[in-house]
Amino acid sequence: HHLFSPLPDAEPAARTSRHIKITVVGCGNVGMAIAQTILTQDIADEIALVDAQPNKLRGEMLDLQHAAAFLPRVKIASSTDYEITAGSDLAIITAGARQNPGETRLDLLQRNLAIFKKIVPPLAQYSPDCILLVVSNPVDVLTYITWKLSGFPPNRVIGSGTNLDSSRFRFLLADHLNVNAQDVQAYMVGEHGDSSVALWSSISVGGVPVISSLEKNDINLSVEMLEATRKAVVDSAYEVISLKGYTSWAIGYSVASLAFSLLRHQRRILPVSLLAKGFYGIPEDREVFLSLPAQIGRGGILGVVNIHLTEEEAKRLRRSAETLWECQTQLGI
Ligand SMILES: NC(=O)c1ccc[n+]([C@@H]2O[C@H](COP(=O)([O-])OP(=O)(O)OC[C@H]3O[C@@H](n4cnc5c(N)ncnc54)[C@H](O)[C@@H]3O)[C@@H](O)[C@H]2O)c1
Ligand SMILES: O=C1N[C@](c2ccsc2)(c2cccc(Nc3ccc(F)cc3)n2)CC(O)=C1Sc1ccccc1Cl
């Protein structure tokens, strides 16, 4: 039998499509690579671009709009006025000062703090329910600064963290093992950049844990291969900078994959920079952001994976927490 009888002359049900709006603040190499990838992956219905340089900003907007014949229909707007960002579901921050030669990380950090004080409050005011995703460096401290300046709950303030480190790690392992990088599950955690921690015990290829098979077969050589691969992740970042002066494509794809999981509620498990106090022995009063594998969906961080860490790995996480905490206390915010 029929559960329902249609009303006579009823109109077809209206399609309630969810309108997804993404803001990108900072339209340089990284911001535009992210915007372009979000467009080609059909993630958003609307993209708002903000930058401090009005001419560059308008030029990038027009240049993206001119691709409309080849892309799904997306509203692309830009302004130096944050009103254009109102109602965003996700705001991605790639704005930042470039590290001057010989500049210390703390000097760069002070300059970026001044920039974030101008960016974060209006973003939070115009989109009080959005997710804030920080890419600018030093990303872990700047994500902490964004959390403090926005007043948002920690689940909605995320840093790209070791997402890029992990994708380079997976590429290098896959290249060495001659398999598809999508079949290599490997995480780098902790501080983004030079001090990231490779989780050997969680590396698996096609579901086969790499370490246990190594220990069983006592293949010492491969432990050196793993350490060399971890070092190659850092070296490859410096190599790209020395060759082309910046990085864009890999960070663009890695941030677009975060945006997709966040806005299409994919519940993927990805390494991102999150408020790590209380995890793995990091003291509750250490309000630092470090990368751990977390479940990512519409509410931002849905949960942190309880991965098994060796004592050495946990110790390195706690040491990174102390380094970041000391850096943050010198900022006076
Ligand atoms: N987290 C990662 O894995 C990762 C990877 C690569 C790059 N990065 C970082 O991303 C950042 C951007 O790199 P890039 O190569 O795109 O730099 P870039 O100089 O090309 O772009 C930075 C943009 O920010 C804009 N900007 C500066 N101050 C601003 C403000 N107050 N408001 C709005 N916009 C402002 C500039 O006008 C410029 O267009 C850097 O901090 C870099 O270290 C992070
Ligand atoms: O691929 C990159 N490129 C950058 C870059 C992009 C434009 S200019 C420099 C890079 C490359 C190499 C070093 C480095 N150091 C740095 C440290 C603190 C800062 F505030 C800014 C930059 N940064 C920015 C960055 O974070 C990355 S990933 C990265 C960096 C170092 C080690 C491992 C990884 Cl996976």
Residue 220 has pLDDT above 60, yes or no: no
pLDDT, one tens digit per residue, over 201-219 is 889 998 888 877 666 665 5
| DSSP string computed for 61-101 | HHHHHTTGGGS---EEEE-SSGGGGTT-SEEEE---PPPPT
Q: Where are the alpha helices (DSSP H) in the chain?
A: 29-40, 54-65, 105-126, 139-150, 163-177, 210-217, 220-244, 249-263, 311-329
Please say if the pLDDT value at position 6 is more than 80.
Answer: no
Q: What is the ipTM of this complex?
A: 0.99
Is the shortest distance between the CB of 191 and ligand 2 below 6 Å?
A: no
How high is the pLDDT of residue 213? 65
Would you state the pLDDT for residue 180? 96
Q: What is the mean pLDDT of the chain?
A: 92
Cβ contact 320:290 at 8 Å:
yes
Q: What 8-state DSSP symbol labels residue 253?
A: H
pLDDT band at 301 (very low <50, low <70, confident <90, very high): very high
Q: Which atom of ligand 1 is nearest to the CA of 254?
A: 3
Cβ of residue 195 lying under 6 Å from some atom of ligand 2: no
Sequence-distant (≥ 6) Cβ neighbours of residue 27 within 8 angstroms: 35, 49, 50, 51, 53, 56, 57, 60, 78
Q: What is the reported pLDDT for 190? A: 97
Cα separation, 318 vs 301, in Å, equals 21
**What's residue 98's pLDDT?**
79
How far apart are the CA of 233 and the centre of ligand 1, in A? Answer: 21
Q: Work out the average pLDDT over 132-140.
A: 96
Give the pLDDT band (50/70/90) at residue 195: very high
The pLDDT of residue 285 is above 70: yes
Token pair recorded at residue 141: 């401290």
Active site residues: 192
The residue whose CB lies within 8 Å of the most ligand 1 atoms, and thus the one to mutate among 51, 82, 168, 246, is 51
pLDDT for res 241: 95
The answer to whether 36 touches 252, Cβ cutoff 8 Å, is: yes
Q: Taking residues 244-251, what's their average pLDDT?
A: 96
Predicted pLDDT at 101: 78
> What whole-number distance in Å separates Cα of residue 228 and Cα of residue 127?
44
Query: Token digits for 55?
Result: 């001419």
The number of beta carbons lying within 10 Å of the beta carbon of residue 95 is 24
Nearest ligand atom owner, CA of 108: 2
What pTM does this model have?
0.94
- How confident is the model at residue 1, as a pLDDT? 59
Q: Give the ligand with the smallest distance to the CA of 114.
A: 1
User: With helix as H, strand as E and coil as C, how does 138-160 read?
Assistant: CHHHHHHHHHHHHCCCHHHEEEC
Tell which wins on pLDDT, 201 or 120.
120
